[in-house]
Amino acid sequence: MFYDEVKVNFKAGNGGDGCFSFRRAKYEPKGGPDGGDGGRGGDVYIVGDTNVADLTDYHFKPGWKAKNGEPGRGSDQHGANGEDIVLRLPVGTIVVDRDSGDPIAEVLEHGQKVLLLEGGEGGKGNAQFKSSTNQAPRQFTLGKPAEEGDFRLIIKTIADVGLIGFPNAGKSTLLNMVTNAHPKTGAYPFTTIFPTVGVLEYPEQFERITVADIPGLIEGASENRGLGHRFLKHVERCKVLLIMLDMEGTDGRDPLADYKVLVNELKLYMPGLARKPELICANKMDEPNAAENLKIFQQKVKEKVYPISCVSDEGFEALKQAMLTEVLKIREAEAVEKEQ
């Protein structure tokens, strides 16, 4: 089972209490205050990790707590600080506050470390309150309580290209053939039930891009029909959208109608998705009706269409090059924007 959204509770460590103590030693009847400070509570950090695939660990263990700071002791002994807790999350995970629904933090790169919750400050021992006018202080302070929160962890896949299409359009087969990923494929709808990301290599150009296979969408996905929102959220961070169509029209489907539905669902879910660069891929060109359907489709849709066949490998090179070209354009634009 692939867990891409879970509810959790995180808590940092409380600060240790300060100590109330006076020095007692032979021949020192008035040794003075020697109560040490309490230790600081541990913090809660989240870290992006490409070796973590999903949120299974947090589904089965939703509660995580950092160590409390130790209390101070006599003889001016400072309590030990609580140990921090570092939670490793898949890259692309957003932390959302369950009460307000606001995003709190996110990890977008491997190794990115974000402080989520701070531990409580340690209390002060009575030695801290000693002065010329208060040589036997009886004041001390308790440790501060730590931050705590109820959150939702949500994975939004990060990839250069997202494969969009109806079930059985051939997305998983394409990903299987051009990348190092091996998603499940089968002759029935919804074979893919969670996103799979593969790496597409261009050795002659010393480039590589990531391609995500998004599970099949249906009409009404923007209204959360089927598993609409669960699937569509993985499209948000893709740089380029590759819309795959079954140009054979299997089971009476109309490629043109499918295209219009997919584009409309993206717009309804998030208007910004419609502004992303888009490539159209016509699959199953080895089937008898595909050529005629493609001709009709191109009369209605002016955008360039890349016909392919996952059986004969037809059109793969042109499609791969088109994906690289679009991704490099965006990378260059992002680089210029960062410099400014």
Instruction: Give tens-digit pLDDT for 274-310.
Output: 788 889 998 888 888 888 988 988 888 888 999 988 8
Position 143 scores a pLDDT of: 92
Q: Confidence class of residue 224 from pLDDT cuts 50, 70 and 90?
A: very low
Query: Is 192 marked within a binding site?
Result: yes
Query: Is 144 marked within a binding site?
Result: no
Entry pTM: 0.68
Query: Is 194 marked within a binding site?
Result: yes
Whether the Cβ atoms of residue 311 and residue 286 lie closer than 8 Å to each other: yes
Q: How far is CA 92 from CA 111, 126, 182, in A?
A: 12, 47, 21
Position 267 scores a pLDDT of: 82
290-300 and 255-269 helices cross at what angle (nearest 10)? 50
Residues shown for the chain: 340
Query: Is 169 marked within a binding site?
Result: yes
Query: Is 284 marked within a binding site?
Result: yes
Query: Is 129 marked within a binding site?
Result: no
Interatomic CA distance for residues 91 and 99, integer angstroms: 24
Ramachandran class of 274: left when φ > 0, alpha when ψ lies in -120 to 50, beta otherwise = alpha
Mean pLDDT of 99-105: 90
The structure tokens 């299987």 sit at 176
Whether the Cβ atoms of residue 122 and residue 39 lie closer than 8 Å to each other: yes
Mean pLDDT of 197-209: 85
Query: Is 190 marked within a binding site?
Result: yes
Interatomic CA distance for residues 66 and 147, integer angstroms: 10
Query: Is 311 marked within a binding site?
Result: yes
Query: Is 93 marked within a binding site?
Result: no
- Tokens found for residue 219: 């009409």
Minimum mean pLDDT range among 232-236, 286-290, 318-322, 323-327: 232-236
Is residue 61 over pLDDT 80? yes
Query: Is 172 marked within a binding site?
Result: yes
Intra-chain end-to-end CA distance of the chain, in Å: 44
**Partners of 6 in the β-ladder:** 153
CA 156 to chain CA centroid, Å, is 5
Interatomic CA distance for residues 257 and 264, integer angstroms: 11
Query: Is 170 marked within a binding site?
Result: yes
The structure tokens 């089965």 sit at 60
Query: Is 246 marked within a binding site?
Result: no
Query: Is 22 marked within a binding site?
Result: no
Query: Is 166 marked within a binding site?
Result: yes
HEC letters along the chain: CCCCEEEEEEECCCCCCCCCCECCECCECCCCECCCCCCCCCCEEEEECCCCCCCHHHHHCCEEECCCCCCCECCCECCCCCCCEEEEECCCEEEEECCCCCEEEEECCCCCEEEEECCCCCCCCHHHHCCCCCCCCCCCCCCCCCCEEEEEEEECCCCCEEEECCCCCCHHHHHHHHCCCCCCCCCCCCCCCCCEEEEEEECCCCEEEEEEECCCCCCCHHHCCCCHHHHHHHHCCCCEEEEEEECCCHHHCCHHHHHHHHHHHHHHHCHHHHHCCEEEEEECCCCCCHHHHHHHHHHHCCCCEEECCCCCCCCHHHHHHHHHHHHHHHHHHHHHHHHC
Whether the Cβ atoms of residue 234 and residue 214 lie closer than 8 Å to each other: yes
User: pLDDT tens, 21-38?
Assistant: 988 877 777 778 889 999
Query: Is 309 marked within a binding site?
Result: yes
Query: Is 216 marked within a binding site?
Result: yes
Minimum mean pLDDT range among 65-69, 104-108, 183-187: 183-187
Query: Is 215 marked within a binding site?
Result: yes
